[in-house]
C-alpha cells in the first residue's frame, strides 16, 4: 500500500515537471501587476484676512485634509487682485496651483447715472473670511498662500498639510 502511494506521488511530481517542459516559451504571460491608486483627497482651507498699512495679513488659518473628490472644478478668477494657493512637494516644487478671488476686494455692479447705465466698482474691505476647497495632490506636503495685488506678490502663509488619511 505504501509503495503504491509512493509511486503515485512520484508519478504526479514527474508529470508536473514534464508538463512545464512542453509549454512553448512564447506563450508565457506574466500575471498583471495591479497598482492601487491612492484615494483622492480634498484640502479645506479657511482663514481671516485683514488689511493693514504694510499689506494684507492672514489670521486664524485652518487646514483639514479629507477623503473625496471635487464635484466641479473651481472657476479661475479674471481679476488683477487674487490669492494664489500653491501645493508644494517635499523639495518645495509647485505641484498644483489654484487662484482664489481676493477676499478683501469685491467688485460691485450698480446704476451709475440718470440714464440708468450699469457701472462696476471695486470695494476694499478692512477684513474678510475666506474658504478654499481644492483637490489635494498626492505628493503635496505644504500649502503656500500668496497675495497678488497692485502688481506685487507677497507670501501670506506657508503651512504643512495636516496628516493625510
Beta bridge partners of 108: 121
Provide the grid cell at 44.
Answer: 479645506
For residue 98, give Cα distances in angstroms to 83, 86, 137. Answer: 8, 6, 12
Contact (Cβ atoms closer than 8 angstroms) between residue 145 and residue 107: no
Residue 69: name the closest of 135, 164, 143 by CA. 135
Contact (Cβ atoms closer than 8 angstroms) between residue 140 and residue 96: yes
Per-residue pLDDT tens digits of the chain, which is 165 residues long? 665 666 566 566 656 656 555 555 566 677 787 777 778 888 899 999 898 888 888 888 888 888 888 877 666 556 778 889 999 998 989 999 988 888 888 877 878 777 778 888 888 889 999 898 999 898 899 999 998 888 888 888 898 888 755
Q: Quote the CA–CA distance of 165 and 161 in Å, as a whole number.
A: 11
Radius of gyration of the chain (CA): 31
Amino acid at each position: 500500500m505504501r509503495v503504491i502511494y509512493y509511486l503515485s506521488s512520484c508519478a504526479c511530481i514527474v508529470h508536473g515537471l514534464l508538463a512545464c517542459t512542453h509549454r512553448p516559451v512564447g506563450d508565457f504571460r506574466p500575471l498583471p501587476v495591479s497598482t492601487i491608486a491612492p484615494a483622492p483627497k480634498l484640502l479645506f482651507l479657511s482663514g481671516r484676512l485683514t488689511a493693514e498699512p504694510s499689506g494684507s495679513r492672514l489670521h486664524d488659518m485652518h487646514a483639514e485634509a479629507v477623503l473625496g473628490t471635487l464635484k466641479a472644478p473651481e472657476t479661475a478668477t479674471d481679476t488683477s487682485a487674487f490669492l494664489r494657493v500653491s501645493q508644494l512637494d517635499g523639495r518645495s516644487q509647485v505641484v498644483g496651483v489654484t487662484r482664489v478671488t481676493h477676499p478683501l476686494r469685491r467688485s460691485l455692479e450698480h446704476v451709475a447715472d440718470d440714464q440708468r447705465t450699469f457701472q462696476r466698482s471695486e470695494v476694499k474691505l478692512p477684513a474678510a473670511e475666506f474658504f478654499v476647497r481644492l483637490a489635494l495632490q498626492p505628493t503635496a506636503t505644504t500649502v503656500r498662500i500668496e497675495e497678488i495685488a497692485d502688481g506685487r506678490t507677497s507670501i501670506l502663509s506657508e503651512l504643512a498639510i495636516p496628516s493625510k488619511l
